[in-house]
Structure 1
């Protein structure tokens, strides 16, 4: 299904059915189609054509989705920008992507070079899209999304995803998550991230279902939205589920409409997954993926065994393998780098052929994640290749220690890093945040670890802080924790 044609198809099949809504706007299929036509007409008037890149720097709102589909209709690609980027950060993405146009709230240019259009102008008028009659561009090889990586190892790189990538990913997701036209997705993750776009927009809309957009996750209003809007699923990160699970016991919302919650973007502990489901009555289905793989590569099956603490089995159409440092594929139970293969694997990094050739080798995407596959084919992620801690010659995987800390009833969040040591090479340092109403002592945490971890894996130091730093998507930011440790030990 070509996404450039999806608004037309939905309008033809069910013109009056719900399509997409936010706090201010609700559009039927025919209204969404009309908005996309008007926006496409406006973009065409401004010179946007096939092969161009349109930058969208908007918060979560309907206009983001309208602009994206309008650009695709013209054969242009979209690069989403976090609205909270600094001028320097935004300028890098605009210049690197060679954006033709920026769509933001104000209509003011960010870098002084790329012309900007206010989102309100997308509603157009009779002089624009109302008379836009050209057929949508139909090209599976056309670039669809330029997703910029978080830049944890340097300047962010542009991940090139073409229409064949996003179509394959949406089809795999519909099958794996059993999405149908009767579903209703509640979007709470940021739309500048591939998860928000693919899991919560493209997958449900291509299935004929509806989407309600929220500006952000709000712990004060989330369950009220669930009770009022009656969504059937949503996607979130472990931090969000941990916060919801830490709400006072008297919070007992009606979650009967929810079939499941998708958990991804970072590993979650088995304890969190099982306790959350026991409390709220719907399962968390954990998966794994990355931007270079168009969002998702494995998922715990809805029908069949869900193994808490694993990220499930490969989606239909994809292959997963584990490789050692010598390039050999490893058998079940062995730990090594996770490799992914399938039609969802990116075209490459924009303007970086050497980095692309180091990341995609013989058709396999080298993820940089460490994992192992069990005898039943379930993948477990144990950490990042560059985060593995080597203490006195022993390999230590941070997630094992983080899971042990998270098993404490008083710990809300935990993160483990390795820091230099004169004789051992590296030692383990942990940072934790308490659950509301708890006041963890270091003695309790050390005793807790001693019961669960062999001596060399135990943290040399545990720091209790009010909250762990997060990046824009809600992942714990270990770069900031390393900077904090260096500051503390300057």
Structure 2
């Protein structure tokens, strides 16, 4: 079944059945379908149709899900926008995606913005939903090695394949209730947190801003059967005071992705709350997940589990050959979940997807039981509490400062967030900029989560034998740096 048909189908099969809720609304299947049809009508009135792109600049609410399905009903794709981005970052994404309209939470300086309140008024769209499986469904933006965000093109066939994989692996049924705490501008939140349980006949509660102190109160109230989170969230929950003893009996499992989760943290969380944690691994380019520890079967903390049914996951050597069991190499993925490519970037697509294999840029190996162990990352990606940060983007911003000669950004370990970006900056001769000046410069141009947590002024950056910045030396701190000023 095509995703665009889901609201109408659920309404026909069980009009009064629970569908989606948030802090302000609790929609049954019939009400959800009506909201989607009204939103589709409002989008159509703005000229949105087949092949267009709709940007959703919205917080985690049921309205986001309504707008998502409304766009799909018209044959349009959706590009979710992180609300934490600066205006210039938002404008770049909308321009690169060619968005026909941006749906916003309220009045916006963006030209042609459509406030979400307008989606719930007016007539219902009565045309049949568009059902082309090859049509573009999502444009998920992720930073590239050049520092410029790029759009990952996922079609409806990608989404259907991933939802089927997740539904089978997690054994989702109409009795399941997903508590969504991950942001909806990530593919995980959309496909795993919303689409999969709804396709299985279950329901979704969209949580607002996550707070560890109140999370289990929400669990006690809505009684979910599953949720997905990042390691930073599990760390905060595991560190709650000892007197916090919540009722977690409704929860069948919790999923974890976006960044490696320490085995000790998994064990501590499971022991305290009696909730099995299914750690997995995947990329936006692979529609979210490629491996996961099994719900029913042996879970191996310290690994990211087994390949999902329907996908091939392998380790490849530098010559492009599949490496033997136990060997270390680049993790590659092949299957119906692999993206169509990067929007407007055929050369980058060709470098990333070769003979059907998605090259992840991650290094790993399979253990003796066939579980994937991630060893390192080829790329310089920094994962801060589940948010992907590419150093080049920060380096470019720092380099734009008139007093900066050169800059390098690396990840530094942080107990709760996993990693945070730190910068090393060499100033031009005679410059007087301070670290505070440089941080203010970054805050004006970058989302807060991308701003370095610290900047070290150095006389020069270390170089490797071929003249490139020696980032391993910066990470390890083994190279002596001359502090400027």
Please give the TM-score of this superposition, normalised by the length of structure 2. 0.80
Question: Once the 2 structures are TM-superposed, how far is the Cα of residue 334 of structure 1 from its aligned partner?
Answer: 1.5
Match of 2:191 among 198, 201, 209: 198
Aligned-partner Cα distance in 2 for 1:315–1:250: 38
Is 1:181 aligned to residue 174 of structure 2? yes
Distance 1:434 1:138, change over 3 A: closer
Question: Once the 2 structures are TM-superposed, how far is the Cα of residue 83 of structure 1 from its aligned partner?
Answer: 1.1
Q: How does 1:29-428 map to 2 (within 5 A)?
A: 29-110=29-110, 112=111, 115-125=112-122, 128-129=123-124, 132-151=125-144, 153-387=146-380
- 2:439 match: none
1:368-412 Cα offsets, whole Å, 9 max, x none, are 111111122110112211349xxxxxxxxx99xxxxxxxxxxxxx
Question: Once the 2 structures are TM-superposed, how far is the Cα of residue 324 of structure 1 from its aligned partner?
Answer: 1.9
Aligned-partner Cα distance in 2 for 1:157–1:372: 28
- SS state of the match for residue 323, structure 2? coil
Residue pair 1:338, 1:371 contacting (<8 A) in 2 also = yes
Aligned positions, number = 410
- SS state of the match for residue 480, structure 1? coil
Distance 1:331 1:484, change over 3 A: farther
Aligned-partner Cα distance in 2 for 1:234–1:258: 8
Question: Once the 2 structures are TM-superposed, how far is the Cα of residue 278 of structure 1 from its aligned partner?
Answer: 0.7
Q: CA RMSD in A?
A: 2.6
Question: Once the 2 structures are TM-superposed, how far is the Cα of residue 486 of structure 1 from its aligned partner?
Answer: 5.8
> Which segments of 5 or more consecutive residues in structure 2 lack a partner in the other structure?
384-390, 392-409, 418-446, 459-480
Aligned-partner Cα distance in 1 for 2:116–2:146: 33
- SS state of the match for residue 183, structure 2? coil
- SS state of the match for residue 54, structure 1? strand
Distance 1:134 1:185, change over 3 A: same
Residue pair 1:239, 1:475 contacting (<8 A) in 2 also = no
Aligned-partner Cα distance in 2 for 1:267–1:350: 28
Aligned-partner Cα distance in 1 for 2:6–2:293: 28
Aligned-partner Cα distance in 2 for 1:475–1:223: 27
Residue pair 2:56, 2:79 contacting (<8 A) in 1 also = yes
Question: Once the 2 structures are TM-superposed, how far is the Cα of residue 98 of structure 1 from its aligned partner?
Answer: 0.4
Aligned-partner Cα distance in 2 for 1:272–1:140: 40
> Which segments of 5 or more consecutive residues in structure 1 lack a partner in the other structure?
389-397, 400-416, 418-427, 436-473
1:414-454 Cα offsets, whole Å, 9 max, x none, are xxx9xxxxxxxxxx99544489xxxxxxxxxxxxxxxxxxx
- SS state of the match for residue 255, structure 1? coil
Question: Once the 2 structures are TM-superposed, how far is the Cα of residue 143 of structure 1 from its aligned partner?
Answer: 0.3
Is 1:480 aligned to residue 477 of structure 2? no
The runs of at least 4 consecutive aligned structure 1 residues that moved more than 2 Å come to 107-110, 150-153, 428-435, 474-477, 483-490
Please give the TM-score of this superposition, normalised by the length of structure 1. 0.80
